[in-house]
Structure 1
Amino acid sequence: MPTLRGLECFVAVLDHGSVTEAAARLHMSQPALSHQLAALEREIGAPVVERLPRGVRATPTGQAVAADARAALAAAESVVATGRAITSGTAGRLRIGCAASMTGSLLAPVLRTWRRRHPAVQLELDELTSADALADLVAAGRADLAIGPRPSTFDGHLDLIGEEQIVAVMAADSPAAAGGSRPMTFAQLAEQPVVHYHPENGLGGWLDGIAAGQGVTLNAVTRTRQTATAAQLAAAGLGVALVPTTALPATYSGAIRRLDPPLSRDIVTMTAAPSDPLVSRFGAEVRRRGIPVPRPIAAQLG
């Protein structure tokens, strides 16, 4: 297989009509350039240039392969240019997986800023409701980076974004809201109808485990796959929902109470190749933003 260096020497000799000039332009010695030409000719099985009293010219074989040699060099330059563009964030594609509850509050502001700074980078988003499903997405090579709760198992690279608080939400005029700003215990939760989660949402199983540890079984009166939907159903009076603060809009109409004991979970970025510059840069932007809590929500939590 001809080397790119050999093809580069061949094309330089054709362009300059001189081994001496070609070697100077490539910052090589003449013997080194001649060695590259000889290796190319051995690979092809015929001379590609012939030496004249003044300079050199292509042989019929050299003329026949010159166009392909130039195309090969152009392709190699394109590979390097594309790689540099992706590394600098001026081109490429970024496939992102995100927990559905975090798309609006955590990811959307980062995407907006990223799009403004890197308009040529194509962004693809996949929203899921399970941390383990997000980890599988990255592990299978279907996402370059995922954002969500810490998965139960993952062989890739994890970086902590921050902690996400879980709170109890309910209709503002419901008996459960009578506790005001006082934290809600799991014993109190056991007495309430609960807007719970579909088994496909990993938050549901995690909450059931926490409740069991407190000696409580949550009384699910309805189930949904989405945390934002659970919050709205609770505000409408269907029951109490346990939701992450990232799922709550700044203008949430229901009541919000902390939990006793406090409940939170780690939110991480998951990557298979943390050394990739484009992925690393985006992950750093997400971690720099952290876990946002709208001021009205923070005010209700005290």
Structure 2
Amino acid sequence: MTLDDLRVFVAVCDSGSLSAVARDLSRTQSAVSQHVKRLEREVGLRLLERRPRGVTPTAAGRILHAAAAEGIGGIDLALRRLGDLLAGAGGSVRVTTGATTVRHFMSHGVVAFRQRFPEVSLEFETESSSRGCYEALAADRADLAWVTLREPVRGIEQRPVLELPWMLAVRTDDPLAGRGCLDPADLRAIRPIGLPGNSSSRSHLEEQLASLGVRLTPTTGVADWDTAILLAELGLGHAVVPRLPDWDAARHPTIELVPVPALRPLSVGWAARRWDALNPVARDFADTVTRDLCERAPAGGRGEA
């Protein structure tokens, strides 16, 4: 049993496909299969069950997958830290997050971090969903992820930073503008602009609305919160979006954000495989961004980081 055997096995369990892993690793499917067979010979049990559309781990496979995934994650982090020590360089920070996150949550923190650590390499990988960010962490493509936090994820540690209240973005000439706040019932008459279909924020919003007896049928869909607000500003509909920490009403004189307090705020923050195994500059980067956000966030909007 080698570390490479375990890496391949974990990748197969995660993807559910021998051929997909073979493509990703630039190997033959037979070579990938041999890694799994070697493990099966050593443990004396079948680890994978063949299905019409791929493979799935057996009960024994699930046990080995859980242990191997956690162990490999720790080894990868340790090897990265050892590499930084060997190189004697400033190190690197790899962050995965959504397309507009740096603008709304990290811009001040990135500048402050860069001023203190000019030699550190900063790498940002854009994902379209929190799930994609978690997958990037698991595959060791990133050290940190800034995500919408929901249920616990196996092998991932989460740290909440901010609670973002939900607002309805409307034009200032809209009948709903000027209200101190809105009830869920007020949302039944809006022309909703849909948030990204695979995003955690949309799932969070729809679940809450459903529990309040409200169902929205978007007539327009967007890829991010910025575009939703822009379309509302153009009069193409209404956007239920979280209030962003850098929102400047003076820059948007024709749009108003009206609170919807019945909706539970959206929790956002950091995720990492193991916080105590991060290299020092990655932890410092996360702390710098967190500190800046908490200083600028309105009272009541801070998380628990």
* 1:95-129: CA deviation from partner (whole Å, max 9, x where unpaired): 10123343212111111111121111111112334
Structure 1 stretches of 5 or more lacking a match? 1-78
Given that 1:171 and 1:235 are in contact with CA atoms closer than 8 Å, whether structure 2 keeps it comes out as yes
Cα deviation for residue 200 of structure 1 reads: 2.4
Match of 2:129? 130
Retained in 2: the 8 A contact 1:149–1:265?
A: yes
SS at match of 2:119: coil
2:226 to 214, 225, 228: 228
User: Is the Cα–Cα contact under 8 Å of residues 145 and 270 in structure 2 kept in the other structure?
Assistant: yes
Aligned to 1:285: 288
Letter in 1 for 2:191: P
Q: Distance in 2 between matches of 1:203 and 1:81?
A: 37
Partner of 1:266, secondary structure, is: strand
Aligned to 1:166: 166
| Cα distance in structure 2, aligned partners of 1:252 and 1:171 | 10
Distance between the aligned counterparts of 1:140 and 1:163, measured in 2? 28
Q: Does 1:121 align with 2:123?
A: no
Instruction: Identify the structure with the greater strand proportion.
Output: 1
Distance in 2, Cα, partners of 1:242 & 1:292: 25
Checking the alignment, whether the CA contact within 8 Å between 2:166 and 2:261 is kept in structure 1 is: no
1:201 pairs with 2:199: yes
SS at match of 1:246: coil
Distance 1:152 1:224 in 2: 25
After TM superposition, give the deviation of residue 292 of structure 1 in Å. 7.0
Asked if 1:263 corresponds to 2:292, the answer is no
**How much has 1:153 moved relative to structure 2?**
3.9
Shift of 1:229: 0.3
Once structures 1 and 2 are overlaid, which stretch shifts more, 262-271 or 140-149? 262-271
Which residue in 2 is equivalent to 1:246?
Answer: 244
1:93 aligned partner: 92
Q: Figure out how many residues of one structure are paired with residues of the other and give that number.
A: 213
Instruction: Look up the SS of the partner of 1:270 in the other structure.
Output: strand
Larger radius of gyration: 1
Q: TM-score, normalised by structure 2?
A: 0.63
RMSD of aligned Cα (Å): 2.6
Q: 1:236 to 1:208 in 2, by over 3 A?
A: same
Runs of 4+ aligned structure 1 residues displaced above 4 Å come to 79-82, 291-295
Q: Is the 8 A contact 1:200 1:225 kept in 2?
A: no
Contact kept in structure 2, 1:164 and 1:246, CA below 8 Å: yes
Deviation of 1:278 (Å): 2.1
- Report the equivalent of 2:62: none
CA offsets, 1:20-53, max 9 Å, x none?
A: xxxxxxxxxxxxxxxxxxxxxxxxxxxxxxxxxx
Give distance in 1, aligned partners of 2:246 and 2:288. Answer: 22
Residues 1:83 and 2:85 aligned together: yes
Q: Distance in 1 between matches of 2:287 and 2:262?
A: 32
Letter in 1 for 2:274: A
Paired-residue identity, %: 21
